[in-house]
């Protein structure tokens, strides 16, 4: 899951349009709050490499409700905001949840939860398309100031761009294949970075889901090898080429790219698949 490109230009414009789409008594109060909200946008931008330093929200009561209500407004102004976020995704993976790259997206996640930080309810770079499984697993929890969030930010965490996942295929002759995913420890990641990644994958419950997706991918590769008449002599190269193409399209940590690489290194499975 490589980083996404954040929508930064026009955030204040989106905010203003959404506020003006509200009715009284919310609209006049939000007009008063708007300078403070824009200041908080600037503060957010200053913490994108250290979200644990983001100051707690001071909005409470009706002011908080009005801000959250901006996102819940069923108006073209909110639709335009969401469209800007959706249009910023890479075209080759714009149908997928941007957390797992397994499931189709169907919801918008607020990275910094709107329940705790109402001022960021309609901030474009605080939104990311995701699936219900990832959104539910991430939840609305946000740690106290000074504590590193458990989930990596899709726009700003450089760890997402690192080749940090590995996969290994095991196969019982004449039986079924199994695949295991793990955080790599051979690519220069520091112990702290490894721990951060492990917490991220655990919080989103990704490893079991990757394993299930990898099993399905093995079945697809088995069918593809046979359908294309691939011989045992050129099976490894075929899978390596598949892995390169998938990694180019979806990133080196994508489960299908890793599955192809792992299968290429599993001679027992290939012997059975192509027998």
In sequence order, the β-bridge partners of residue 128 are 109
Q: Indicate the length of the chain as a whole number.
A: 275
At residue 174, does pLDDT exceed 80? no
The span from the CA of 13 to the CA of 7, in Å, is 12
Q: Where do we find the tokens 């929200």?
A: 57
| Per-residue pLDDT, 201 | 97
Q: Is 153 contained in some domain?
A: no
Judge if 114 and 204 occupy the same domain: no
Phi, psi of 36 (to 5 degrees): -70, -35
Q: Is 190 contained in some domain?
A: yes
Q: Is 175 contained in some domain?
A: yes
Other Cβ atoms less than 10 A from the Cβ of 214: the count is 24
| Per-residue pLDDT, 114 | 95
Boundary residue ending a domain (123, 138, 153) = 138
The span from the CA of 154 to the CA of 244, in Å, is 23
Judge if 129 and 198 occupy the same domain: no
| Per-residue pLDDT, 171 | 93
pLDDT band at 55, cuts 50/70/90? very high
Judge if 122 and 219 occupy the same domain: no
Give the Å distances, CA to CA, from 241 to 79, 82, 216, 233, 264. 40, 36, 19, 14, 10
Q: Is 148 contained in some domain?
A: no
The span from the CA of 104 to the CA of 97, in Å, is 5
Q: Is 193 contained in some domain?
A: yes
Boundary residue ending a domain (94, 122, 138) = 138
Q: What is the pLDDT of residues 81-140, one digit of tens each?
A: 999 999 998 888 889 998 999 999 999 999 999 999 999 999 999 999 999 999 999 999
Boundary residue ending a domain (80, 104, 138) = 138
Judge if 122 and 223 occupy the same domain: no
Q: Is 51 contained in some domain?
A: yes
Judge if 173 and 212 occupy the same domain: yes
Other Cβ atoms less than 10 A from the Cβ of 169: the count is 23
Judge if 41 and 132 occupy the same domain: yes
Judge if 17 and 133 occupy the same domain: yes
pTM of the model: 0.92
* 121 token code pair: 């309810």
End-to-end CA distance of the chain: 35
Domain extent for 218:
162-273
Q: Is 1 contained in some domain?
A: no
Domain total for the chain? 2
Nearest to 122 by CA among 194, 27, 247, 38: 38
At residue 74, does pLDDT exceed 80? no
């Amino acid at each position: 899951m490589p980083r996404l490109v954040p929508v930064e230009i026009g955030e204040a414009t989106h905010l203003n349009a959404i506020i003006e789409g509200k009715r009284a008594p919310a609209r006049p109060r939000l007009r008063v709050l708007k300078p403070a909200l824009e200041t908080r946008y600037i503060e957010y931008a200053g913490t994108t490499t250290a979200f644990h330093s983001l100051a707690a929200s001071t909005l409470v009561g009706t002011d908080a409700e009005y801000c959250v209500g901006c996102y819940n407004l069923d108006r073209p102004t909110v639709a335009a905001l969401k469209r800007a976020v959706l249009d910023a995704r890479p075209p080759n993976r714009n149908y997928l949840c941007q957390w797992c790259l397994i499931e189709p997206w169907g919801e918008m996640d607020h990275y910094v939860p709107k329940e705790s930080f109402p001022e960021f309810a309609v901030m474009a770079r605080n939104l990311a398309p995701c699936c219900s499984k990832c959104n539910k697993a991430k939840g609305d929890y946000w740690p106290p100031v000074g504590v590193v969030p458990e989930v990596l930010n899709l726009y700003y965490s450089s760890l997402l761009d690192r080749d940090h996942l590995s996969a290994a295929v095991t196969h019982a002759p004449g039986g079924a294949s199994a695949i295991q995913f793990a955080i790599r420890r051979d690519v220069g990641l520091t112990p702290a970075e490894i721990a951060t990644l492990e917490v991220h994958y655990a919080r989103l419950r990704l490893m079991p889901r990757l394993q299930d997706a990898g099993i399905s991918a093995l079945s697809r590769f088995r069918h593809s090898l046979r359908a294309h008449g691939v011989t045992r002599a050129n099976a490894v190269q075929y899978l390596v080429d598949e892995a390169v193409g998938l990694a180019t399209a979806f990133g080196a940590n994508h489960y299908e790219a890793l599955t192809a690489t792992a299968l290429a290194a599993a001679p027992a499975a290939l012997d059975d698949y192509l027998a």
